Structure 1
Amino acid sequence: MPILEWKECFTLGIEQFDNHHRHLVDLLNRAHDDYLADADVVRLTATLHEFFDYAMYHFKIEEQYMEEIGYAGYAEHLEYHRNFSGQVAAMEHDLTQVWRNLPMEMLSFLQNWLTYDITIADADYVRFSAGNNLKECA
């Protein structure tokens, strides 16, 4: 059972970023499935690390795009990425050092973050690029 289902309104209209977001949703759901199936710590941790690594790759490409289009909110979006990166670093440390009930808390955090990232943060630069012609996600 997925923790986050892809909604058509998640589609931003930039194929590369839509593909990135779909992949992140898939990775999050795979981690959730691993958690529900009581997968061993190594497997679940590997999936979460893959999610984190891919999110950092996505940020790099996205930041280049925002800079190219002269996105007015670039500095704020960059700070948003840096804050998430810091939270991820703390979670990765906790994954290897603490464990306990952390996976479900982490999965819930990532679900909320990814939904916000697609529908609010990323949709803003897409609206900027498309001249405000992007529909809101309900």
Structure 2
Amino acid sequence: MAFFSWDTKYSVNVPDLDKEHKILLEMLNELHDAMKQGKGKENIERLVNNSASYAKSHLSHEERLMEQCGYPGFQEHKKQHEFFVQKVNEFKNDVNQNNYKLSSELLKFLKDWFVNHITMVDSKYSTSINNCKVK
């Protein structure tokens, strides 16, 4: 059973961004499975590093679209992304230094971020991006 499953309530009604959100969710489930199964340090580090890298790429894409489409909440949204990247980098450094007791904190943070950020913050840009001619 998956740690976390996609639900239509997470859709931002922007197909490319929904697709990226689903990939992030799959990566979160893969990380959870690796931690639960006690996979080796290299596997967990690789998954954390890959997830962090993909998340940064996704956030950049999202920010580019918001900026191009003149989304009025862009600056505040970008600040939330910066906070997320900072927290993920802290977790990533802990994992890379063999501090695995934070793994459950990392998973909780990522899941909470996913649910709260997408449903309460990302959902707000949907209309702006969908009404935008630039994509």
Do both proteins adopt the same fold according to a TM-score greater than 0.5, normalized to the shorter chain? yes
Please give the secondary structure, in 2, of the residue aligned with 1:31: helix
The number of aligned residues is 131
- Of 115-124 and 25-34, deviating more is 115-124
Q: CA RMSD in A?
A: 1.4
Q: 2:93 aligns to what?
A: 93
Q: 2:105 aligns to what?
A: 105
Runs of 5+ consecutive residues of structure 2 not aligned to the other structure: none
Q: 1:19 aligns to what?
A: 19
Is 1:3–1:111's contact at 8 Å kept on the other side of the alignment?
Answer: no
In the superposition, the TM-score normalised over structure 2's length comes to 0.90
Please give the secondary structure, in 2, of the residue aligned with 1:101: helix
- Of 95-104 and 44-53, deviating more is 95-104
Runs of 5+ consecutive residues of structure 1 not aligned to the other structure: 132-138
For the residues of structure 1 that align with 2:28 and 2:90, how far apart are their CA atoms?
A: 18
In the superposition, the TM-score normalised over structure 1's length comes to 0.88
Query: What letter is aligned with 1:8?
Result: T
For the residues of structure 1 that align with 2:100 and 2:13, how far apart are their CA atoms?
A: 40
* CA displacement at 1:98 relative to structure 2: 4.5
For the residues of structure 1 that align with 2:55 and 2:80, how far apart are their CA atoms?
A: 13
Is 2:63–2:78's contact at 8 Å kept on the other side of the alignment?
Answer: yes
For the residues of structure 2 that align with 1:61 and 1:100, how far apart are their CA atoms?
A: 30
Please give the secondary structure, in 2, of the residue aligned with 1:86: helix
Q: 5 Å matches for 1:1-138?
A: 1-130=1-130
